[in-house]
Amino acid sequence: MPDPVTRKTHKYDPDNFKVPEFRKDKDGNFAPTDYQTAVALKDFMKRNDMLFLTYDQMWEAVQKGTVTNGDRVTQVNDREKAMFDALRWDGLIARIDAADGKGNGVHDKILGGDDIDAAIKNGFIHADKASPDRHWKDPMSRVTIPKPEAKERLVAFMEGGHGGLSDGDIVWDKDRVSEAIEHHRSVNNKGYVNIDNPALIEAFMLFNKDFDNVDGNTDGFINLEELKNWKV
């Protein structure tokens, strides 16, 4: 299915960029935006002669404060640790990974400079106008996905096991739907999964408007049968 989202792009020269200052939260801790994180990551990789960054290296930086690259172990400072920590938020590392230099949504769990460049160019990450809570907001002035396509995508997503459990059934409540829209993630029996397909997020946005109408038994939960009965 075609991706109905026209993503906003930003001025960015991959060969001549300036690393932006990180913003801070109310407690004075570094809280970089998606754009600040992405550009700082490319600078970090360049300074440390890293062609690629793996997910395991990201977790090492967050948990141990080091990045192991072959025989070399690099200590990260507070600013850099905040950068690596920010990669975990709202599926940012997955969205950069999905850009893969072509923007075709393929994940290989290895980030390169081309991934970062493509993520910024293709709008997989927002630039310096992130929301106050640092959540990524799709640059959508309106939802353009047709309702039948939205339903098809959501049914397939729920059939894939994404949701909470109630009496053995996979269900969504309004918090689950909001989490998908605002935080770009869902939960299944294996934990959280990132949602980096803008079309699927649009589908959740449409569904959210009809939630009460789809909730046939008005119990506050949507199961697969109710979702399939969504009148589109």
Residue type present at position 76: V
Distance of CA 68 to the CA centre of its chain: 25
Nearest residue to 93 via CA among 65, 56, 127, 122: 56
| 152 and 51 belong to one structural domain | no
CA dihedral 187→188→193→196, nearest 10 degrees, is -80
164 within 8 A of 137, measured Cβ to Cβ = no
The count of domains in the chain is 2
| 17 and 81 belong to one structural domain | yes
Residue where a domain stops, chosen among 90, 114, 137: 137
| 19 and 129 belong to one structural domain | yes
Tokens of 169: 């059934």
Tokens of 7: 């993503």
In a structure prediction context, what are the per-residue pLDDT tens digits for the chain, which is 232 residues long? 334 333 444 567 888 888 888 988 888 999 888 888 999 999 999 999 999 998 889 889 988 999 999 999 999 999 999 999 888 765 677 778 766 544 444 556 788 898 898 888 776 675 444 444 333 444 444 567 899 999 999 999 988 887 766 555 678 888 788 778 766 777 665 666 777 777 888 899 889 888 999 998 888 889 899 999 999 8
**pTM reported for the whole predicted model:** 0.57
Q: How many CB atoms lie within 10 A of CB 12?
A: 15
| 38 and 102 belong to one structural domain | yes
132 within 8 A of 162, measured Cβ to Cβ = no
